[in-house]
Amino acid sequence: MPPSSLRVVYAFAREMHPKTTDVFIQYGTAGFRTKASLLEHVVYRMGLLAVIRSRVKNGRTIGMMITASHNLEPDNGVKLIDPHGEMLEQSWEELATRLANVSDNDLESTTEQIIKEVNADMGLKASVFIGMDTRYTSPRLAAAAVHGVMALKGTPKEFGIVTTPILHYCVRCRNDNSYGKPTEEGYYEKIVGAFKNIRQKLSVTGNYNTILYVDGANGVGGKKLNIIKKGLDGELDLVLHNLGGNGGKLNLNCGADYVKVSQKPATGFEAPPLQRVASLDGDGDRLVYYYLDQNENMKLLDGDRIATLLASYITELLAASGALGLRLGLVQTAYANGASTKYITQKLKIPVTCVKTGVKHLHHAALSYDVGVYFEANGHGTVVYSDAAKRAVREAADTGDVEQRKSAELLLDLIDMTNETVGDAISDLFLVETVLCARGLDARDWLAQYTDLPCRQLKVTVQDRNVISTADAERKCTAPEGLQSRIDELVDKYTDGRAFVRPSGTEDVVRVYAEADTQQAADKLAAEVAQAVFDLAGGAGERPVLPE
C-alpha cells in the first residue's frame, strides 16, 4: 500500500476520532480497558491494527470485541481476537500500545512503520468481525472500529450485541469451518444442541433437580440465555434474573465478579434456600455458582470448583471409554484456593500447572495436555482437547464395546458443548449442569467434595504499580526490596497461611490475596500484607485499616 493511500488513516482520525487525551493506555491482559470517554481514538486505531493483523495472517478473519467485561458501566474496552479464537499474540501487544498512544499527526507514519515491521502484504483482502456488549457507549465505539477497518480497505462484519465468547467462537469458525458455523445461530446449534443430546442420554437421579436460578449481571449473557431458554425442551428450567430491566445497572452489586470478590449473593432477586444460582459476568465469559444455606449464609462454588468437577468427570469418561494414553491436566493461577490444588493432586491424582494471572497464560499452558482444563478462580475458563484426543474418543465411539461406546459418545457431546476458544459462561453452565445431572449431585454435594480455606482479596492504591515485580507464577515478589521477606514473616504467623501480591493489569493498584485456617485470620493476614505493600511500594491515598 503506497504511503499516499494512508492519508485516509489521518483524515478519519482528525475528522471523526481525534485523540483528545494524553493519558497513556496499555494493552493488558484483557486488551485496552478504561473510562469509555477515553477510548474512541483507541478503538479506531485497533481497527487499523486488526486489518494489518488479518493481512499478516494471509487474509484470515480477526475479531474485535468492544467490552469491559466485569467492570462497571462507565468503563469500556477493546481487545483483538486471533484466527483460532485465541487472544492476540503477545508480541503484538506492544504494537497495539504504540499505535494507541501516538499523536494524530504521527498516526499515519506509525501505521506505515508497523506495516513494514510486520511485513504485511497490504494488497491482500482483510476481514474483521466486530462485536459489542450492552453498554450505552458500545455502539459509538463499534462505529469507530468499523471506520478503522475501512480506512485500510478491510471488510468489517458487525455482529451487534453478543457475548465475548460468541465472537471468539465465530472468528474460529470463519477460519476453520470444521469447528462450526460462524454465526450466533450456529453457536446455539452446536453448544445447546450438544447439551440437549447429552441430557436425553442421562436420567435425572439422586439429589439433582433441573431448576437453575441465573444472575445475568444485567448484561448480554442473560439476554442470550433468554433466547436459549425457549429451546431447551424442559431439559433445564432456567429462572432468569438481572436481565437489565427495572433500572438494573451492569455488574453493579451482581454478576460473577461481585459474587466472587465480595462473597455476597447478587442483589436484584432472592433465591430460595439451598437453590443453586449461576452468576455470569457482564460480557458472558465468567461463571460462578453459589447457594444460600438454611441460615442464609452464602456458599460459593467458584472457578476452582468448576475445574475440579469437570476434570474429574472427563477423567472418568476417558477411562470408561478406553481412550487410554491421553494426558489430562489442570491449569490454575496463584488465586486458586490451596484446598482445591491439594484435592486435585492428592485425591483426583491429576497434574496441576500454575501460571501467571491472565487467561492467555492458562490457555497456552492447557494446550500442552491432550485434555487441558483451565479455570481462574474468578470463573473464567474452559477445556481444550488436542486433535489426538478427539481422534481417540471418536475411535472409541466407533470400535469400543457397548459400555465404552456409551462413555465415548457422552464425551463427544461434552466436547461439542465446550467453547474451546475462550472461557464461556453459557457453555460452562451447560457443562456444569451436565456433570451434576450425570452424578445426581445438588450444590451441597458439590461443595462437600473438599473444604476451601478461608481467603480474602484486597487492593492497595499505589503511585505506580510497576514498582511491583513478581516471579514463580506471581507467587513471589522480587521488587521492591524487602517486601517478599516481610510477606513471608507475616504468613509464618498463621496456620495454613499463604499470601501473594501482584500489580493490577488495568489500574494503579496492587492486588493482595491471603488464605488462612479461619476467616478472621485470612482477613487479618490480608490487611497486614496490604499495609506492608502500602509502606514499601509507595502507597497513595488512605492507609489500609486492620480489621478489629
Boundaries of domain holding 491: 455-536
Is 407 catalytic? The answer is no
Number of domains comprising the chain: 4
- According to DSSP, the residues that pair with 278 across neighbouring strands are 214, 289
Question: Is the pLDDT assigned to residue 277 strictly greater than 50?
Answer: yes
49-78: average pLDDT = 97
Question: Is the pLDDT assigned to residue 4 strictly greater than 70?
Answer: no
If asked whether residues 286 and 390 sit together in one domain, one would say no
Query: Which one is catalytic: 54, 69, 138, 279?
Result: 69
Please indicate whether residue 7 or residue 52 has the higher confidence score (pLDDT). 52
Residue 541 lies in a domain: no
Q: Which contiguous run of DSSP H or E holds residue 319?
A: helix 303-321
Question: Is the pLDDT assigned to residue 182 strictly greater than 80?
Answer: yes
d(C-alpha 232, C-alpha 178), whole Å: 25
Q: Which residues contact 107 (CB under 8 A, 6 or more apart)?
A: 9, 10, 13, 45, 99
Percent of the chain past pLDDT 90, that is, above it, reads: 91
Model pTM score: 0.93
d(C-alpha 489, C-alpha 501), whole Å: 14
Predicted confidence band of residue 3 (pLDDT cuts 50, 70, 90): very low
Question: Is the pLDDT assigned to residue 2 strictly greater than 60?
Answer: no
DSSP 119-180: T--TTS--EEEEEE-S-TTHHHHHHHHHHHHHHTT-EEEEEEE--HHHHHHHHHHHH-TTS-
Cis amide prior to 18 (ω within 30 degrees)? no
Helix (H, G, I), strand (E, B) or coil at 251: coil
Specify the pLDDT at position 36. Answer: 95
Cβ atoms of 266 and 258 within 8 Å: the answer is yes
Residue 172 lies in a domain: no
**Digit-coded pLDDT (tens) for 488-527:** 999 999 999 999 999 987 677 999 999 999 999 999 999 9
Cβ atoms of 427 and 419 within 8 Å: the answer is yes
How far is residue 275 from each of residues 143, 211, 258, measured CA to CA in Å?
42, 8, 19
If asked whether residues 470 and 522 sit together in one domain, one would say yes
Residue 373 lies in a domain: yes
**Digit-coded pLDDT (tens) for 237-260:** 999 999 997 778 999 999 999 999
If asked whether residues 101 and 65 sit together in one domain, one would say yes
Question: Is the pLDDT assigned to residue 359 strictly greater than 80?
Answer: yes
Residue 179 lies in a domain: no
The CATH number linked to 517 is 3.30.310.50
DSSP 326-351: --EEEEEETTS-HHHHHIIIIIS---
375-399: average pLDDT = 96
Percent of the chain past pLDDT 70, that is, above it, reads: 98
If asked whether residues 9 and 119 sit together in one domain, one would say yes
If asked whether residues 264 and 339 sit together in one domain, one would say no
Residue 548 lies in a domain: no
Determine the Cα angle at 223 with ends 227 and 195, to 5°: 50
Task: Cell 469458525: give the residue.
Answer: 173
79-86: average pLDDT = 97
Q: Which contiguous run of DSSP H or E holds residue 489?
A: helix 483-491
Predicted confidence band of residue 91 (pLDDT cuts 50, 70, 90): very high
Helix (H, G, I), strand (E, B) or coil at 22: coil
Task: Cell 446449534: give the residue.
Answer: 189
If asked whether residues 21 and 146 sit together in one domain, one would say yes
**Digit-coded pLDDT (tens) for 414-452:** 999 999 999 999 999 999 999 999 999 999 999 999 999
DSSP secondary structure code for residue 389 in this structure: H
Q: Which residues of 353-387 are buried (b: 16+ CB within 10 A; e: fewer)?
A: bbbbbbbbbbbbbbeebbbbbbbbbbbbbbbbbbe
Residue 213 lies in a domain: yes
If asked whether residues 337 and 461 sit together in one domain, one would say no
DSSP 64-112: EEE--TTS-TTEEEEEEE-TTSPBPPGGGHHHHHHHHHS-HHHHHHHHH
Q: Which contiguous run of DSSP H or E holds residue 519?
A: helix 519-536
d(C-alpha 393, C-alpha 391), whole Å: 6
If asked whether residues 328 and 441 sit together in one domain, one would say yes
If asked whether residues 138 and 254 sit together in one domain, one would say no
The β-bridge relationship of strands 155-161 and 127-132 is parallel
Predicted confidence band of residue 329 (pLDDT cuts 50, 70, 90): very high
Cβ atoms of 400 and 171 within 8 Å: the answer is no
If asked whether residues 11 and 137 sit together in one domain, one would say yes
Q: At what angle do helices 40-56 and 104-117 cross, to 10 degrees?
A: 20
If asked whether residues 375 and 503 sit together in one domain, one would say no
The CATH number linked to 32 is 3.40.120.10
If asked whether residues 214 and 319 sit together in one domain, one would say no
Cβ atoms of 184 and 166 within 8 Å: the answer is yes
The CATH number linked to 274 is 3.40.120
Question: Is the pLDDT assigned to residue 50 strictly greater than 90?
Answer: yes
- According to DSSP, the residues that pair with 126 across neighbouring strands are none
Residue 171 lies in a domain: no
User: Average per-residue pLDDT in the chain?
Assistant: 95
Residue 431 lies in a domain: no
What is the distance between the terminal CA atoms of the chain, rounded to a whole angstrom?
A: 66
Specify the pLDDT at position 547. Answer: 67
d(C-alpha 335, C-alpha 459), whole Å: 14
d(C-alpha 398, C-alpha 121), whole Å: 45
d(C-alpha 533, C-alpha 529), whole Å: 6
Phi and psi of 81, rounded to 5°?
-120, 125
